[in-house]
Every structure is written in C-alpha cells, then in structure tokens.
C-alpha cells in the first residue's frame, strides 16, 4: 500500500488526516510466532514519539511496542483481547493494534516499503 509507512522496530502506520492507525508488520509477527497476548494502553493515553506503549507476547517471545508517532490513543482494537491471533493472520488489516490522534507532524524517519525491506533483510542474517 502506497501510504503505509514503517519503523525500524517493525511497527507500521497508515495516516488518514489526523488519524494514524498502528500495527506490527508481517515480518514481526512471523518472528514472534503465534501471538497469545497483547498488553495495550487505554484510550486517552498520550504517547511520545517512540515511547513504549505495550507488549506483544507469543509463547517463546515478548516484544515491546514503540509508538511510531506522538499522539493520543483514540481507539484500541478490542478484537485482539479475544483473538490475538489476528495479528498473525491479518497484521495489516483486522490485526491493527491502535489508532492515535496525531500530535504535530509525522516524524521524518518513517520508512517507505523499500527502505523497510532493507531493514528486514539485514535482520534475517
């Protein structure tokens, strides 16, 4: 998708006006294995750029989630409490994690598809 951006810590963002949707990438979910739990913030919480806002857990790993933008949490994907496996099966669609109201501008260091691909290729040594 042309307007999806990525971070080095394997989150993705889609921007729609002031609303930013955040999730974790397909690469991240495949590294983690079957997701069993997510620890997520409540709506209303303010997040700073790159602030750690939660944890995504599989049986063998636990990864911190870092906010790709600064903003205020407006929605959290409730479906993930009952079906955390959506993060694996549909990381860019139904597996979205939260929505933020953007504060200020988008950070300049968000990666495009090609740049993110380079990051994942470097990781999988």
Q: Which residues are at the interface with other proteins (CB under 8 A)?
A: 33-34, 36-37, 39, 57-62, 64, 81-82, 84-85
90: helix, coil or strand?
Answer: coil
DSSP states along 32-68: H-SEEEEE-PPTT-EE-TT-EEEEEEESS-EEEEE-S
Output the smallest distance, CB 92 to other proteins, in A: 22
6 vs 27 by CB, closer to other proteins? 27
CB of residue 37 to other proteins, shortest distance in Å: 5
Least gap, CB of 81 to other proteins (angstroms): 6
> In this complex, which beta carbon is closest to other proteins, that of residue 14 or of residue 36?
36
Q: What is the rounded CA–CA span in Å between residue 60 and residue 62?
A: 7
């Amino acid at each position: 998708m042309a307007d999806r951006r990525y971070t080095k810590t394997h989150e993705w963002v889609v921007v729609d006006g002031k609303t930013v949707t955040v999730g974790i990438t397909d690469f991240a979910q495949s590294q983690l294995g079957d997701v069993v739990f997510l620890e997520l913030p409540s709506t209303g919480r303010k997040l700073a750029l790159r602030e750690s806002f939660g944890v995504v857990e599989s049986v063998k790993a636990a990864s911190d989630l870092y906010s790709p933008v600064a903003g205020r949490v407006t929605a959290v994907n409730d479906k993930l409490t009952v079906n955390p496996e959506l993060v694996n099966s549909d990381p860019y669609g139904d597996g979205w994690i939260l929505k933020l109201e953007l504060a200020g501008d988008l950070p300049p260091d968000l990666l495009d598809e090609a740049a993110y691909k380079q990051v994942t290729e470097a990781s999988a040594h």
